[in-house]
Structure 1
Amino acid sequence: ASAIRERLEARVGGSIRGVVPGTPEAAALKQALIDDGLWSQYLEVAIGPDAEVFTKAPVLATVGADADIGIRSDSTWNNPEPEIALLVDNRGKTVGAMLGNDVNLRDFEGRSALLLGKAKDNNASCSLGPLVRLFDDSFTIDDVRTAQVALRIEGEDGYVLEGASNMAEISRDPLDLVRQTLSEHQYPDGFALFLGTLFAPVQDRDDPGRGFTHKINDIVSIESAKLGRLVNRVVTSRDAAPWQTGIGALMTNLAQRGLLETKK
């Protein structure tokens, strides 16, 4: 990897880490990678003009701290993705942040880009928590830009994996991701936006060369100094508590408690 990086930096000029997505320098790097047979769909969204923006979970389908998180029962290669998520209101203003786990099925996603929805959106496959920290004088978007996000996975088999993601090295600025998300879409109720991760689990768990994958009852802890610690247990999406409280159930609950007023 170091040799490839040095060769590309010599051809492109400057540090690869310093390349700004969507710029002429990024286009030159892309061409160099294509020439060397190293281009991929992941690099396209990392340094190309368009960020990767997709729907991770429907409204009210996300689980919180200490809940079970789900992986598909037919997935054999999967991993957590420790991230920070921004809270954006219905006016497009970024108002706070929290931790999240963008659970990923690498076997489904890697097989075809068209399977991204199946790889990302399953029962209990998205967790957020343990709190929402609103922006104020003591906590700003700059704290998000420089945050360290730590990950620890503990298995019943005694396996332990630790990793980290440095937000300062993410290729796209958090507010640029918000801008791209809102450029062609409206969110009248606001949204939570995952910002991505640098964490890639390459440590073998079982067979050499097979890398990491979850096992049932793994405990996943995601932590950042100013956002607390988010802990979840891994189960299959079939075994996780079913998602039953949708928008209809929410409206029914509010009506039963007399919290819906009709304008006269």
Structure 2
Amino acid sequence: MINSILPQDAERALLVGRVWLDEQRGPVIVALRAGEVIDLSGHVSVMADLLERDDAAELAANGDGKALCSIETLIANSQARPQVSPYLLAPCDVQAIKACGVTFAVSLLERVIEEQAGGDPSRANTLRSELNEIIGSDLSRIKPGSEAAMTLKAELQARGAWSQYMEVGIGPDAEVFTKSQPFSAVGFGASVGLHPSSQWNNPEPEVVLAVDASGKVKGATLGNDVNLRDVEGRSALLLGKAKDNNASCSIGPFIRLFDDHFSIDDIRNALVSLRIEGHDDGFVLEDSSDMREISRDPLDLVAQTIGRHHQYPDGFMLFLGTMFSPIQDRNGPGQGFTHHLDDVVTISTPTLGSLSNPVGRSDQLPPWQYGIRAWLAHQRRQ
């Protein structure tokens, strides 16, 4: 069980995260070392501070601190209902949480389908066939912003088949949006939330980069950029409602810091797997997202997010996008996939481990209450 949650080379991975402690009435920064969860709060008070340090890897590997519990206890506490202290939180805190959309050809086509379907899942199969005839099913060879991409754009515009999603999918500028707020993401084991109005939705399994204030990528983790296909399909201007709701963002279980054994090349070559297990109907869906098929290099996405045009003094977490857009019928022919309550979503890749969350409704899950003012009050108590 633990071996499937941690990276396959966990014994040499530099893993850092955040843990809730009841006795502290707040979070502490931790490192995972030799199967024990080590409290690093004597060195840093927020994850952003750790990621800014030049000696972050050394601190994770050797920084002194109290052993809070074993990793087995931490995982069991995080999956308990309700969760029991100490339990995992999302590994980020004060950082902005940004996300990239339409970075894979498959997701590009599905976003266009959502748009043209107007949020109606029953029209998706017909539109998918029509678009494949006009566009072709393989856009993965088109480099965004290239001469070939601009030629295709002109042809699609002439046919009346151009879309705002095509613009960010094969145009020069990436879609980068704010997924959710600092401190709002949930961690491993906590429920992710769906807006109660949504009837067509899915998880989005993604690699998430941890980037410091200078724009340097310091490590990576996993994330679920929960997607409401019907809401965004009605209008792209509803992206905020589709993406930023109570518990609609999960990140974890840990940030793996870059070192001699783990680098951006491991991200470029990652295969991100997804498993959805239905509680009420026995439904199982398994799929994967191959990062080698991403249309924009991860470092290009970072450069489009931060620079002279935009600064992030506390750093940011960056979802890199997904090629996962499930079309498997669940509720009936032509209805495609949508979540049922109590589904369990597990996102995994060998170098980062697994992020697992059950699915609930945003209005029925515990409300987000621990924000910046609560964290400041926690710091004053220390």
Equivalent residue number for residue 320 of structure 2:
195
Equivalent residue number for residue 100 of structure 1:
223
Equivalent residue number for residue 72 of structure 1:
195
2:304 corresponds to which of 180, 184, 191: 180
Query: Conserved in 2, the CA contact under 8 Å of 1:8 and 1:32?
Result: no
Equivalent position amino acid for 1:154 in 2? E
Equivalent residue number for residue 86 of structure 1:
209
Deviation at 1:189, TM superposition (A): 0.5
Distance 2:134 2:375 in 1: 56
Distance 2:302 2:260 in 1: 21
* Aligned 1:136-175 pairs, distance under 5 A: 136-156=259-279, 157-175=281-299
> Does residue 1:239 correspond to 2:364, yes or no?
yes
Query: Conserved in 2, the CA contact under 8 Å of 1:151 and 1:220?
Result: yes
2:172 corresponds to which of 49, 52, 60: 49
Secondary structure of the equivalent of 2:155? helix
Secondary structure of the equivalent of 1:131? strand
> Does residue 1:249 correspond to 2:368, yes or no?
no
Distance 1:139 1:210 in 2: 41
Distance 1:41 1:223 in 2: 31
Deviation at 1:90, TM superposition (A): 1.1
Deviation at 1:16, TM superposition (A): 3.8
* Aligned 1:121-136 pairs, distance under 5 A: 121-136=244-259
> Does residue 1:28 correspond to 2:166, yes or no?
no
Equivalent residue number for residue 50 of structure 2:
none
Distance 1:136 1:41 in 2: 39
Query: Conserved in 2, the CA contact under 8 Å of 1:151 and 1:164?
Result: yes
Distance 1:239-1:173 versus aligned 2 partners, 3 A rule: same
Deviation at 1:2, TM superposition (A): 9.6
Equivalent position amino acid for 2:302 in 1? V
Secondary structure of the equivalent of 2:238? helix
Distance 2:367 2:131 in 1: 46
> Does residue 1:119 correspond to 2:242, yes or no?
yes
Deviation at 1:44, TM superposition (A): 1.5
Equivalent position amino acid for 1:26 in 2? A
Distance 2:134 2:344 in 1: 40
Q: Structure 2, unaligned stretches of length 5 or more? A: 1-127
Secondary structure of the equivalent of 1:175? helix
Equivalent residue number for residue 12 of structure 1:
none
> Does residue 1:62 correspond to 2:193, yes or no?
no
Equivalent position amino acid for 2:249 in 1? C
Deviation at 1:256, TM superposition (A): 0.9
Distance 1:24-1:176 versus aligned 2 partners, 3 A rule: same
Deviation at 1:7, TM superposition (A): 7.7
Query: Conserved in 2, the CA contact under 8 Å of 1:5 and 1:16?
Result: no
Equivalent position amino acid for 2:182 in 1? V
Distance 1:217-1:16 versus aligned 2 partners, 3 A rule: closer
Equivalent residue number for residue 20 of structure 2:
none
Deviation at 1:84, TM superposition (A): 0.2
Q: Deviations over 1:116-158 (max 9, x none)?
A: 0000000000000111111111111011011000001011211
Distance 1:100 1:116 in 2: 18
Distance 2:164 2:202 in 1: 19
1:226 corresponds to which of 332, 339, 351: 351
Distance 1:4 1:117 in 2: 27
Distance 2:219 2:353 in 1: 14
Distance 1:240 1:31 in 2: 46
Equivalent residue number for residue 210 of structure 1:
335
